Amino acid sequence: MRRLTFLVSVIFIALLLPGIVVGAPPKAVQRIEIPKVVPKKLTADLYVKSVKLDPSLPRVGKDMIQIKVTIGNAGAAAPSKACSWAMLVKNISTHPEHSHQVIPWYANNIPRLAPGATVEINNTITIPYTGMYHLSGVIITEGLEVGEEKSENNHYVLPFQVVDAPAKSDLVLDALTPTDDGRIKIKMHNQGARIPDVDFNKSYVRVTVNDTIEKSIHFTEIDPNGLLKPGETPAGSGINRVYLSYIWPATDPKGIKLEPGHTYKVKVVLDYNNRISDMDGSNNMKTVVWGMTP
């Protein structure tokens, strides 16, 4: 009776669970493999943000060319080591044999830039020939792992032109005289060629008193109307000659005051910083000794 009851119970359970076959072997459990997610490796991306020349149109044998290069990192990671910016200037027209390695290879002048950071690299050169030039630069990433830095934008070429030097001016310091109130009066003219604005704007006059006191004022302040700039054509002819007189200030930070009862040695030099191409620098200066009346 008990055996019959057990069989009825088994049959009843089988009817409730149709997926189970009485007496059949159990089904194998299927294992589902979940793929591992490998995080994407962050890379650096060094690039040339800008290259600037000052002046942008340099003059042969005259201008000291300032080169300013800015390197940035547009990537999402810093490189694992310092890199290098190398730069070459080459004449591509009048003297193609002339080239100059401005910055050598493997200078390690690019630090491990963080994402978004930049570094500025500066240098100066002079160029002996007129013509067209290429300034070629490359970011050297040797030593980094493969794929650590995007190299597609690591090269840069900037074409530029070098032109003739300007015709020479000839500044002449005509006279130095003391004023009644103890100031220095300067008389000058330009008997040479026109002075280019780029030179006139940076040139200054230096006054030295008793070999100790030194004061300087730019020509743009001494001659705000540019009367000295045109010069004479032909040079030294006296045609359209313009004399300019300037009285040195006495009280501001650039001022010099000559007190009564003292003796002063006064030296004045026009274009003290040699910005202007001048055919005769010997007439740009004078030295006088004054005894100021009490």
Here the CATH number for the domain that contains residue 220 is 2.60.40
Residue that terminates a domain, selected from 111, 142, 162: 162
Same structural domain, 117 and 184: no
Decide if 36 is inside a domain: no
Same structural domain, 157 and 254: no
- Beta strand extents in 6-73 (DSSP E only): 46-54, 65-73
Decide if 27 is inside a domain: no
* CA-to-CA separations, 53 to 58, 62, 123, 258, 277, in angstroms, rounded: 9, 15, 10, 44, 21
pLDDT at 100: 95
pLDDT tens-place values along the chain, 294 residues long: 455 444 445 444 444 445 545 555 656 667 777 666 555 678 899 999 999 999 999 999 899 999 999 999 999 999 999 999 999 999 999 999 999 999 999 999 999 999 999 999 999 999 999 999 999 999 999 988 888 888 889 999 999 999 999 999 999 999 999 999 999 999 999 999 999 999 999 999 999 999 999 999 999 999 999 999 999 888 888 888 999 999 999 988 999 999 999 999 999 999 999 999 999 999 999 999 999 887
Decide if 10 is inside a domain: no
Residue that terminates a domain, selected from 100, 128, 162: 162
CA–CA dist 37, 276 (Å, integer)? 68
Cβ neighbors of 204 (< 8 A, separation 6 or more) are 216, 217, 218, 219, 271, 272, 273
Full domain range(s) for residue 244: 171-291
Same structural domain, 90 and 180: no
pTM, two decimals, is: 0.70
pLDDT at 39: 58
Residue that terminates a domain, selected from 110, 142, 162: 162
Burial 136-175 (b: 16+ CB within 10 A, else e): bbbbbbeebeeebbeeeebebebebebeeebeebbbbbee
CA–CA dist 91, 200 (Å, integer)? 29
pLDDT at 91: 98
Same structural domain, 152 and 206: no
pLDDT at 235: 81
* CA-to-CA separations, 94 to 99, 126, 161, in angstroms, rounded: 12, 16, 11
Enter the tokens of residue 23. Answer: 């007496």
Total tally of structural domains belonging to the chain: 2
pLDDT at 149: 87
pLDDT at 172: 97
CB atoms within 10 A of CB 273: 14
CATH number where 128 lies: 2.60.40.10
Decide if 229 is inside a domain: yes
Same structural domain, 218 and 141: no
Q: Put residue 93 in one of left, alpha, beta given phi > 0 → left and psi -120 to 50 → alpha.
A: alpha
pLDDT at 157: 97
pLDDT at 162: 98
